Homo-oligomer: A and B are copies of this chain.
Amino acid sequence: MTTTVAFLGLGVMGFPMAGHLSKHFNVNVYNRTTSKAQKWAETYSGKAFENPRDAVADADFVCVCIGRDQDVIEMMEAQSVASVMKPGTIVIDHTTTSALLAERMSALAEQYGIDYLDAPVSGGQAGAENGCLTTMVGGNSSAYDKALPVMQAYSQKVAHMGPSGAGQRTKMVNQICIAGLLQGLSEAMQFAQQADLDGDKVLEVISKGAAQSWQMENRGHTMLKGEYDFGFAIDWMRKDLGYAIDEGKRNHSLLPVTALVDQFYAEVQAMGGGRWDTSALMTRLVKHNT
């Protein structure tokens, strides 16, 4: 008998992820804006549904990749999607949410005899398209083991990080690293320009040593050119940093620069840059020097 995977949310990430699944599984898709589901069904082999409850009804696994906490609550609770799944279904939530949401959904799932894994991803649109995401998973081990082949359809790396919420907390660690790192890189790139250095050459020279980072190699040159029209949007980043800072209150972490950079991102949003790549932190440093 073929395994059926439902995929809810066909955005930038979900669309190609569900596409990868269609090569291995029987796939049902649902998207709030119906046209995207239709387009998906024209592109890949699988079935589009107009209603998430129908899409999940006979699924063995339900992948979710939507916006934020309230979207998941709306889907699972308000629209009763969790309650219509058959017992034993495993929900794999790829949405980046709070850890509290993961715990709440996990408790809800238990009521219905289903499993819930929080499984945020990193790797961006390119990672989703090329099927080489990194997937960080929280939840119980047996559900994880069963869900692994599903997640491997679009991941180069899947890791079980701990109980419910641990996937989200791992993703928070990732985002905290990026915030400080990008601010440092932004100040540095701006300094290079102000110092009349050849920025590309500077990047070439320093990118083999202790200052090296993925962002330096992949975003340094575009930052110097002022190109930000791609990548991971600042609006998403602020959502993620918000979850991290809130979680930090609960687990008594100290996040001074994360909190500060979050405010700098607010400034870029106010400049109209909410959809720009996170490396657009640099724009608030260079804007005055023109």
A282, chain B: closest CB distance, angstroms = 10
**A173 is contacted by which of B156, B206, B248, B257 (Cβ under 8 Å)?**
B206
A253 at interface by CB-CB < 8 Å:
yes
Contact B184 A258 (CB under 8 A): yes
A67 at interface by CB-CB < 8 Å:
no
Chain A interface residue count, Cβ-Cβ cutoff 8 angstroms: 84
Please, what's the 1-or-0 string for A179-220, where 1 marks a CB less than 8 Å from any CB in chain B?
Answer: 111111101111110111110011011101111111110100
Q: Which of A25-33, A40-48, A106-114, A262-270 contacts B (4 or more CB under 8 A)?
A: A262-270
**How many identical chains are in the complex?**
4
A225 at interface by CB-CB < 8 Å:
no
**A259 is contacted by which of B190, B202, B260 (Cβ under 8 Å)?**
B260
Known contacts A123-B209, A201-B161, A205-B134, A191 near B248 by CB under 8 Å: yes
Please, what's the 1-or-0 string for A128-159, where 1 marks a CB less than 8 Å from any CB in chain B?
Answer: 00000010100000000000000000001101
**A187 is contacted by which of B159, B218, B255 (Cβ under 8 Å)?**
B255
Contact A197 B177 (CB under 8 A): no
**A166 is contacted by which of B169, B197, B232, B254 (Cβ under 8 Å)?**
B197
Q: In the complex, which residue of chain B has the Cβ closest to the Cβ of A171?
A: B206
Known contacts A181-B213, A213-B212, A289-B270, A202 near B161 by CB under 8 Å: yes
Q: What 3 A-B pairs are tightest by C-beta distance, nearest first?
A: A180-B184, A270-B288, A213-B213
